[in-house]
Structure 1
Amino acid sequence: MTTLLQRDPEDWRKISGLDTAEEIAQQPALWRELRASLQSRAADVAAFLGGCLHNPQQRVLLTGAGSSCYVGEIVADEINAAWPAQVRAIATTSLLTHPELYLEPGAPTLLVSFARSGSSPESLAAVELVRALVPEARFLNITCNPQGQLARQGDTDARTFNMLMPAASCDRGFAMTSSFTCMLLAALCMLGKGDWESRLAALAHAGEAALRDWAAPVAALAAQPVQRVVYLGSGPLEALARESALKILELTGGRVLAMANTALGFRHGPKSALNKQSLVVLFRSGKALAHRYEEDLLQELRRDGVAGSIVSVGFGADIGLAAPALPAQLPDAWLAPLWLLMAQQYALHQSAALGLTPDNPFADGTVNRVVQGVTIYRHDQF
């Protein structure tokens, strides 16, 4: 019998979870498709970027809301460390309320928008805001929807470059899964340094192994009742922890509370949230220094016995891969899509265990796939 993430596909269909299950499982194939697409457009990307990343005065703002914001936060430091340009992640939800803190009208600026639908009000308003306040700004849209307003507007603007993700990455389900990892990897390939083609191919191979080997242990972990989930990650993996916590909140309709922190930061107060109904998941860094700090925390948590369960994800971890499965010294930002495969599956199984409909946990419409109900105010009226 063919199974999909430990269930018969028809069972997923019956509980309205088939779209999300398929979109989690398809990611390695989409990473290969993304690689081919980036190869075909490499010259266009290089022409658009020119030498901007070599300019110390160049400002590169990575923006989005919710999960799309976390994409930028995961990759920002990796890209910033690679170039003289100033690279930072700023949520559209912060850019719209405090533009004076983030925008310099005379500075060369590239606004990189991450968007699954390309139609959320904040994404569109952020572009218009930057156009108004930074006259010479340019725009890179990394989006999954060619019919979204962001992509359609970019098609007619010489200062905008649209990089479309593989068609199947425009998730049908409520939660961002394929869209998240494709946009993250696209940013690393387009704006980072290194042999991205080899890295992307290796990640796709490792992703297939992870989906195969982790399906049973993750499903078993999700079968254990839990009230609180804590995700921890160091450096770029802190933002991965935030995305993972959001997946639990979304797919369980808020019935399972989740939080995120760093391995070192967790002791500074947030550790008080633990009880016997808590699960702690720590994403292991590929960096030896961070790994040592993480190991100390894991030993402490297991010694304390406060949490109900403690699980590590990564190389040599409880849920892990053998190091030879990937190129040596792969940066943590590149590892994030792999470790996220665990968190996505866990959230999906938790949703099913609670009797919810994973493809749309909010049938009452209180939370929507594309944010609604946002009033955009003109920056120059206040």
Structure 2
Amino acid sequence: MDRTLGYAAGELDDRGAGRTAREIVQQPALWREVAKTVAALGGEHTAALRPLLDRRGLRIVLAGAGTSAYAGELLAPVLSRRLGRRVEAVASTELVADPHGCFAEDVPTLLVSFSRSGDSPEAVAATELADRLLTECHHLVVTCNPDGRLCREHSGAKSSTVLRMPAAANDQGFAMTSSFTCMVLGVLLVLGDGMTDEMVHHLATAAERALPGIADRARSLVAAGYERFVYLGGGPLRGLAHESALKLLELTAGQVLPLADSPLAFRHGPKAVLNDRTLAVVYVSNDPYTRRYDLDLVEELRRSLAPASVLALAAQDGGPVADLWHLPGLDDLDDALVALCYVLFAQVIALHASLHLGHRPDNPFPAQEVNRVVQGVTIHPLG
């Protein structure tokens, strides 16, 4: 019998989860498609952006709202290291609310805008405000919707480059899953020096092998009845922790209130959230220096909680720290790529938690208190 994420064929559709489940499972195949898409451009985007990236005074800003903001938060430290320059993640919601503060420095800027739909009011307004307040602004629009406003307005524009994801990455479920990982990967391939198709194939293969175990582990953890979830990650994995918490919050319709932080920051107050009904998830870095802090916290948490309530996902063996959940095939990849495999766990546990609580993950807000594309935002004229 065909099964998807541990459920029989048809059951997920009957329970309002079929779209979300399929969009989670399809991601490794879509990553290969993203790599082919970028390769088919024949370096077109890279050639257009390279003279800009070679300018030492260039400011690079990664912008988006919600999950798209966390794509930027994940990528900023990785791109900064690869490009040897400052790269900032600034949510488009902040760019719109405080444009004079965010664009106070009038320097040549590359604004990288992430938007699944391309119709988010803040995403559109952020590009317009940047053009108005900066003497020289260039745009890299990363979207999954060729019919969205961002794609339409920036395609063919003189100072704009548009990177379109495969059609299937335009998630039809409520939550961003395929769109998140594909947009992150697409930008890594275009802006991240040293990225290869072989790395993408390696990542996709590792993720496909890991998915059945991820589905089983996530379902058993949800069945254990945890009431609090804490996601922790350092460096690029801090953005992943934030996205993991958002997925759980969204798909459970706010019934579960998760927390996200970095391992070092967690001790400074947020650790108070821990109780005997808390599951702590630590995303262990592949960076040897950052990893030491992650493993320190894993051991500390296991002294505070039951060992089974501390889940440490790792791409490498734990060495002196035992009982890491080792996802094989990722040990030679940097954290931005490893994060795309780790996030599968967060997406699947959010799906299982939603179903466990009686929600319909494809549309956890039937009364439209929260929408797939944000509604009700008034963009006020800039004085």
Partner of 1:199: 199
Of 366, 369, 374, 2:377 maps to 374
TM-score normalised according to structure 2 size: 0.95
Mean Cα deviation higher: 119-128 or 74-83: 74-83
Shift of 1:195: 3.3
Distance in 1 of aligned mates of 2:258 and 2:191: 31
Partner of 1:260: 260
Shift of 1:50: 2.9
Distance in 2 of aligned mates of 1:195 and 1:95: 30
Shift of 1:368: 0.5
Structure 1 segment 20-35 matched on structure 2, within 5 A: 20-35=20-35
Partner of 2:330: 326
Distance in 2 of aligned mates of 1:304 and 1:195: 40
Partner of 1:179: 179
**1:70-91 residue CA offsets vs partner (Å, 9 max, x unmatched):** 0001011111122244321110
Shift of 1:354: 0.3
Structure 1 segment 1-382 matched on structure 2, within 5 A: 1-103=1-103, 106-305=106-305, 309-315=309-315, 316=317, 318-322=324-328, 325-326=329-330, 328=332, 330-379=333-382, 381=383
**1:103-147 residue CA offsets vs partner (Å, 9 max, x unmatched):** 257421111100100001000100111111124311111100001
**8 Å CA contact 1:28, 1:205 repeated in 2:** yes
Letter aligned with residue 220 of structure 2: A
Partner SS for 2:184: helix
**8 Å CA contact 1:54, 1:85 repeated in 2:** no
Partner SS for 1:257: coil
Letter aligned with residue 222 of structure 1: V
Shift of 1:318: 4.2
Q: CA 1:2 to 1:318, structure 2 compared with 1: closer, same or farther past 3 Å? A: farther
Distance in 2 of aligned mates of 1:261 and 1:23: 26
Shift of 1:308: 7.6
Partner SS for 2:10: helix
Distance in 2 of aligned mates of 1:129 and 1:182: 27
Partner SS for 2:130: helix
Shift of 1:307: 8.7
Distance in 1 of aligned mates of 2:97 and 2:169: 30
Letter aligned with residue 186 of structure 1: G
**8 Å CA contact 2:330, 2:338 repeated in 1:** no
Partner SS for 2:176: coil
Partner SS for 1:344: helix
Partner SS for 1:264: helix
Partner SS for 1:163: strand
**8 Å CA contact 2:226, 2:278 repeated in 1:** yes
TM-score normalised according to structure 1 size: 0.95
**8 Å CA contact 1:60, 1:112 repeated in 2:** yes
Partner SS for 2:372: coil
Mean Cα deviation higher: 193-202 or 252-261: 193-202
Which runs of 5 or more structure 2 residues have no equivalent in the other structure?
318-322
Distance in 2 of aligned mates of 1:143 and 1:372: 18
Shift of 1:246: 0.3
Shift of 1:304: 1.9
Distance in 1 of aligned mates of 2:133 and 2:277: 49
Distance in 1 of aligned mates of 2:259 and 2:102: 27
Letter aligned with residue 326 of structure 1: L
Letter aligned with residue 66 of structure 1: G
Partner SS for 1:51: helix
Which runs of at least 4 in structure 1 moved beyond 6 Å after TM superposition? none
Distance in 1 of aligned mates of 2:112 and 2:31: 20
Distance in 2 of aligned mates of 1:105 and 1:260: 31
Q: CA 1:156 to 1:49, structure 2 compared with 1: closer, same or farther past 3 Å? A: closer
Distance in 1 of aligned mates of 2:275 and 2:106: 52
Distance in 1 of aligned mates of 2:270 and 2:85: 35
Distance in 2 of aligned mates of 1:80 and 1:360: 37
**8 Å CA contact 2:116, 2:145 repeated in 1:** yes
Distance in 1 of aligned mates of 2:84 and 2:108: 13
Distance in 2 of aligned mates of 1:45 and 1:181: 19
Distance in 2 of aligned mates of 1:305 and 1:33: 42
Partner of 2:320: none
Partner SS for 2:263: coil
**8 Å CA contact 1:59, 1:108 repeated in 2:** yes
**1:203-245 residue CA offsets vs partner (Å, 9 max, x unmatched):** 1111111113322122111212122110000111011000000
Shift of 1:306: 6.9
Q: How well do the aligned residues superpose, as a CA RMSD in angstroms?
A: 1.6
Mean Cα deviation higher: 205-214 or 69-78: 205-214
Partner SS for 1:341: helix
Shift of 1:156: 4.1
Mean Cα deviation higher: 44-53 or 103-112: 103-112
